[in-house]
Amino acid sequence: MSSIQQIFSLTDLEALKALQIYIRHFVDGIISGMHQSPRKGFGIEFKEYKNYTPGDSLKQLDWKYFARTDHYMIKEAEVERQHDFIFVLDRSKSMQFKGKEASKYDISRAFIASLSYLAKQQHDSYQLFNAKSNARNFDTFLYELIKQETDVSFEFTEMLPDKKQSSRTTAFIISDGYLTDDELEKLLKSWSYASQKTVFVHLLFENEMKLNFEKENYRFKDLESGRTVQINTKEARMEYQHQLNNWHRGIKNLCAKNEIMYFQLEDIKPLEHDIIQLLTLMNFNLK
């Protein structure tokens, strides 16, 4: 099976096939056996007929069927979906930072693909915020996700909601958090108001946190501006970690202030472990 980095280095159609295999490999294991019986009740789509029994709601009687057959039958329908997942993806160039397995951006796309597949299996809705087109099926959604690329001209305002979402909405903001304090606060505050539940998925990798590299002297490149700087990692590590910890704590505090769940997506464990951990923390009920 292809790695995340290998998947997104393929051509679009090859990447689509590889991504389908990748997400089903571990998501199917999570949801296996959890949809043995369909959820039923008042809903949108007609499911099937069943014989009327005393106590059934008369509102569900199919009177046209009765007129044709002289039999009382109940129209059952699948219940309305329980969740609307919206994925707000940071497409800034800094998301191209690479960890052990792949870049933050590629891991983000694999994360979105996996949760969307889970939503699909749960009969819930999913969408990529500000996508160029509104995907009508899962393969189209994946193809749109694959074609999304980072952009040096990307602005944080492209992640801001333009309306209040449904009462079932969970918004996942997926970002490295490299915004100004004012930008980040506006982003979090806006989605906290617009959605029922918001999760800030923060991509922060081990070597980024510890400044832990094999060599002491490195030339680092700013992925946004292209500027480079020479740093002795051993000499800079203590002050760097102090500033990073303050910045990290500030993001967590902003999330708490806006009643947003904070979740750090690392590159230490396989992605499926992070997804299981996130679903557990969210008390997400797989049925």
Tell me the pLDDT of the chain averaged across its residues. Answer: 84
pLDDT of residue 85: 94
Give the residue extent of every domain in the chain. Answer: 4-33+81-281, 40-78
Residue pair 47/79 in contact by the 8 Å Cβ criterion: no
For residue 164, pLDDT beyond 60:
yes
Residue pair 219/229 in contact by the 8 Å Cβ criterion: yes
Question: Is the whole-model pTM more than 0.85?
Answer: no
Query: Burial level of 272, CB count in 10 A (0-12/13-18/19+)?
Result: middle
- The CATH code belonging to domain 4-33+81-281 is 3.40.50
Q: Which residue has the higher pLDDT, 245 or 287?
A: 245
Cβ atoms within 10 Å of 260's Cβ, excluding its own: 22
Exposure of 15 in the CB half-sphere (CA atoms within 13 A): 22
pLDDT of residue 45: 47
Mean pLDDT for the stretch of residues 51-74: 71
- Residues 80-121: tens digit of each pLDDT: 557 899 999 999 999 999 988 899 999 999 999 999 998 888
Percent of the chain scoring above 90 in pLDDT: 46
pLDDT of residue 29: 59
Query: Burial level of 203, CB count in 10 A (0-12/13-18/19+)?
Result: buried
Per-residue burial over 33-66, b = 16 or more CB atoms within 10 Å of its CB, e = otherwise: eeeeeeeeeeeeeeeeeeebeeeeeeeeebeeee
Which neighbouring-strand residues pair with 275?
Answer: none
Q: Which residue has the higher pLDDT, 160 or 152?
A: 160
- Cα distances (angstroms) measured from residue 177 to each of 63, 78, 87, 141, 174: 57, 39, 15, 25, 9
- Residues 244-257: tens digit of each pLDDT: 999 999 999 999 99
Mean pLDDT for the stretch of residues 143-170: 92
Which helix (H) or strand (E) segment is 218 a member of?
Answer: strand 217-221
What is the DSSP code string of 81-125? PS-EEEEEE---GGGG-B-SSSBHHHHHHHHHHHHHHHHHHTT-E
Residue pair 45/143 in contact by the 8 Å Cβ criterion: no
Mean pLDDT for the stretch of residues 220-244: 92
